Amino acid sequence: MTEAAVDFGIDQALKQLGIAPTNPGTSTGSECFGSGELIESYSPVDGALIGSVHATTAKDYERVVQAAEAAFRVWRETPAPKRGEIVRQFGDRLRELKEPLGKLVSYEMGKSYQEGLGEVQEMIDICDFAVGLSRQLHGLTMHSERPGHRMYEQYHPLGIVGIISAFNFPVAVWSWNTALAWACGDVCIWKPSEKAPLCGVACQKIAADVFRENGLPEGISCLINGDYKVGEMMTTDRRVPLVSATGSIRMGKIVAQAVAARLGRSLLELGGNNAIIVTPDADIKMTVIGAVFGAVGTCGQRCTSTRRLIIHESVYDEVKDALVKAYGQLRIGNPLDQHNHVGPLIDKQAVAMYQNALEEVVKEGGNLLVPGGVLTGSGYESGCYVKPAIAEASNHFEIVQEETFAPILYLLKYSGDVTEAIALQNGVKQGLSSAIMTTNLREAERFLSAAGSDCGIANVNIGTSGAEIGGAFGGEKETGGGRESGSDAWKVYMRRQTNTINYTAELPLAQGIKFDL
């Protein structure tokens, strides 16, 4: 552990989470999580080794699935409100461990400590939501056309829910799925990103303690570790009726095809290429705050990060100048230091993608207003720190059409009415989050209409990032169409059943069909 990590209490945080700092070649939690090759987790904050876990082998995976199947037979018959009580206890344990878990998220992933705490708060919030949900897993009643018959529909647990999560939200997205799935009576097998495996170990330990204390089988919550080959074990497994996958569009297409080939269900949360439209009636101060946080928060590594700013020509220069000034005030450094605004990218591969995107936008005719660059020297030894960049560009540029997981903001200009801006915003293959900055009611309502934003999330006078758990989260087009978290997203974790009860001594057939014997 480096001196900087010790200064910010990472060593103590790991101990509170039951994870002792390890040296190279040492396994963390191997008795629970696998027997394959070692996966070492290095912090992008300072390049230090945090710990290591064993990857899941095919033999390990089979043992996990069998444990999950056995646990499901118990869990599905546990009354839903009692399942909710277990989720409540899990949420309370997260409250107790919010600070150390938030620090681990920050240190292993690289987001600011405040964002790490916010991610754990999302976990707590979805637990609260799921507790209430456990008493509201309601169906419908319908009137039968046949006398003396009653019709209704109900929802039953699916079984094993497979969860594949990405590095950028190493704990929250798992909890969005898990808290709801548990309340619905499902058991879960989670494959966290191999870039943030210790966050997965920490969450699994917390959950396992709660289930153990309540005398429940450990297979209700399972963890597997490894790369895409481990994910393939789950996506091709007929015993896993639902696979929820968060990641790139490329990954999502592979998962969708594998799950569809066995007629399973997939819940996909994939790429975003999110835009904020800035109209002549926008509040410029609000616009700058929303755009800067959306573009540089989590170092541009949110699926809802703001990638494009579509600005009307009448306010273009004013917005541009304000953004350049704001970027000049950004502090980049150790994300555990709350004086800093921007932490590192996840690894050097991400840095290379960032550099390539800046080169490409210039090749295609763009202009770098804030040129960016890789930071070196004291405090930046990991090689993962970069400067947020701003480029003037066109929506048709190939690099603008792609999602680059880095703090690069493209400025696009429009000259017509809001319809032109909406067309630009919709003119990409992704459809996750969108926003408009305007005080004009007509423009706002047009943006939210059927002819407006084609994204799953459409905001007015707030940025593209920062979703609340009360609403369903997800996007359209190549974002995958999935919905997680709030609203009625719980239904994807259950199977629907229609029931008809005949309480007479006769057997009339539907549609008046006669069948006399």
pLDDT (tens place) for every residue of the chain, 517 residues total: 566 566 789 999 999 999 865 533 333 333 345 789 999 999 999 999 999 999 999 999 999 999 999 999 999 999 999 999 999 999 999 999 999 999 999 999 999 999 999 999 999 999 999 999 999 999 999 999 999 999 999 999 999 999 999 999 999 999 999 999 999 999 999 999 999 999 999 999 999 999 999 999 999 999 999 999 999 999 999 999 999 999 999 999 999 999 999 999 999 999 999 999 999 999 999 999 999 999 999 999 999 999 999 999 999 999 999 999 999 999 999 999 999 999 999 999 999 999 999 999 999 999 999 999 999 999 999 999 999 999 999 999 999 999 999 999 999 999 999 999 999 999 999 999 999 999 999 999 999 999 999 999 999 999 999 889 999 999 999 999 999 999 999 999 999 999 999 999 999 888 988 887 7
Instruction: Identify which of 81, 119, 46 has the alpha carbon closest to the alpha carbon of residue 335.
Output: 46
C-beta of residue 489 within 8 angstroms of C-beta of residue 476: no
| Helices 113-133 and 80-96, packing angle to 10 deg | 160
C-beta of residue 47 within 8 angstroms of C-beta of residue 382: yes
What's the rounded Cα separation, in Å, for the pair 355 and 349? 10
Per-residue pLDDT at 3: 61
What is the Cα gyration radius of the chain? Answer: 25
CATH number of 274-475: 3.40.309.10
- Who contacts 60 (Cβ-Cβ below 8 Å, separation ≥6)? 34, 35, 36, 224
| Torsion, CA 150, CA 153, CA 154, CA 160, rounded to 10 | 140
For residue 239, give the amino acid letter: R
Instruction: Identify which of 333, 258, 266, 325 has the alpha carbon closest to the alpha carbon of residue 299.
Output: 333
Q: Helical H runs in 76-171?
A: 80-96, 98-109, 113-133
303 is catalytic: yes
Q: Catalogue the E-assigned strands of 279-432.
A: 306-312, 367-370, 373-374, 386-387, 389-392, 408-414, 430-431
Per-residue pLDDT at 516: 78
- Which three-class secondary structure state does DSSP give residue 122? helix
Find tokens 């609403």 and name the residue.
Answer: 471
Per-residue pLDDT at 274: 98
Please give the backbone phi and psi of residue 48, each rounded to the nearest 5 degrees, phi first: -80, 150
Per-residue pLDDT at 33: 57
Residue from 115, 119, 122, 269 carrying the catalytic annotation: 269
| Extents of the domains making up the chain | 3-270+483-496, 274-475
> How many Cβ atoms sit within 10 Å of the Cβ of residue 302?
24
Per-residue pLDDT at 395: 98
**b (16+ CB within 10 A) / e for 107-129:** bbbbbbbebbbebbbbbbbbbeb
Q: How far is CA 441 from the centre of its chain?
A: 31
Sheet holding 494-502, edge to edge: 140-143, 149-157, 494-502
C-beta of residue 5 within 8 angstroms of C-beta of residue 48: yes
Instruction: Identify which of 294, 299, 324 has the alpha carbon closest to the alpha carbon of residue 385.
Output: 299
What's the rounded Cα separation, in Å, for the pair 465 and 458? 11
Token readout for 74 is 């118990």
- Which three-class secondary structure state does DSSP give residue 230? helix
User: Beta strands 408-414 and 306-312: pairing type?
Assistant: parallel
Residue from 299, 303, 384, 455 carrying the catalytic annotation: 303
What's the rounded Cα separation, in Å, for the pair 223 and 189? 6
- Which three-class secondary structure state does DSSP give residue 254? helix
CATH of 3-270+483-496, one of 3.40.50.2300, 3.30.70.1710, 3.40.605.10, 3.40.50.1370: 3.40.605.10
